[in-house]
Structure 1
């Protein structure tokens, strides 16, 4: 009986080791394919975003709430700084709206502005779509605090001098985003984003993407 238990424990250990080796031996391309599958199966997500904007002489820090629903609906709520709390940016698939609670007014942006709106790149789905279509991209791996990340870097064709290269870290364990950084034409940081409280496939009512339901 004792011998049987020892053999059983040994089999379990070998099985766990084999599973771990399979994970370790995966190439970064294989991991990226799994990431892409996860994103393809994603219907919604929500998270908090800490965003740091680098200027010539100062830095500005913002705290935002992000909500996304396929195919391209999004909701951004400003939480900090206090004077901007409650400011909204909403895209319902056709029109983009801005709302400022202090003046209680909303504005619809022109279609041309919708297509080039900078904050779209902060949403993971938009980034990966652009990454796949990019001819100048790089897939790397990095370990931070004993956690493995897939690092995706691509050049940006934006006309803006502040957006020339983007770099996204995704956790290999659960394919949740960790951070995104954007470089300017001088290869200096212009934007740094950290994601937290990230949840995939949460229930989100479509009405939240209509401005009249958020005033």
Structure 2
């Protein structure tokens, strides 16, 4: 009888251990495995930038391919709809569909657009020391949040922090924080699609 009881308790322990919630370390490991397998992605990003009087808001489509090719296409506001910033890994372009004009941006600073991309955050996460990793709950959903220092020692762009859904491994939002801890930029992501087979030709713009 005692052996049966011990065996039953052992089965219960295995059952409850298997059903227990994963630790932050386990969740992060699973998320990292997913993110490491990303070769390209697309998503919609709603961007809010703090201004002097009121925040500036944009809605854009992001297209990204490793290691550093990307397109940022404005969806809103309507007067700028279709305008694209394209970076092919070497050269940046600005395309205006209203006038069918393609402009080479010779003095373009990548960080202006690049740091709003999920792919950029993943790159700095690899090189940063001691990223801050925490769990957070928003609207009854569990997220893993990671905070990392942005290279360049810019007081207005000191840290980036991202929220990733623990179950789907999809990013929810990203913020950029200054050295005083104030949020200056917030990006919310939707319609995220990983590894959709984006061709390199997409980043080589030519007027037709």
> Normalised by the shorter chain, which TM-score bucket?
0.7 to 0.9
1:129 to 2:123 alignment: yes
SS of 1:153's equivalent? strand
Within 5 Å, which residues of 2 pair with 1:57-206? 57-110=53-106, 113-114=108-109, 116-206=110-200
Structure 2 length as normaliser, TM-score?
Answer: 0.84
Structure 2 residue matching 1:30: 3-state secondary structure: helix
| SS of match in other structure, 1:185 | coil
Q: What is the TM-score normalised by the length of structure 1?
A: 0.82
Superimposed CA distance per residue, residues 72-117 of structure 1 (whole angstroms, 9 cap, x where no aligned partner)? 221110010011101101111221111123343222233x745x42
3-state SS of 2:172 partner: strand
Q: CA deviation at 1:27?
A: 2.8
- What residue ranges of structure 1 are gaps of 5+ in the alignment? 1-10
Higher helix share: 1
- Count of residues paired in the alignment: 198
1:212 alignment partner in structure 2: 206
Match of 1:52 among 48, 51, 54: 48
Question: 1:63/1:109 Cα in 2 relative to 1: closer, same or farther (>3 Å)?
Answer: same
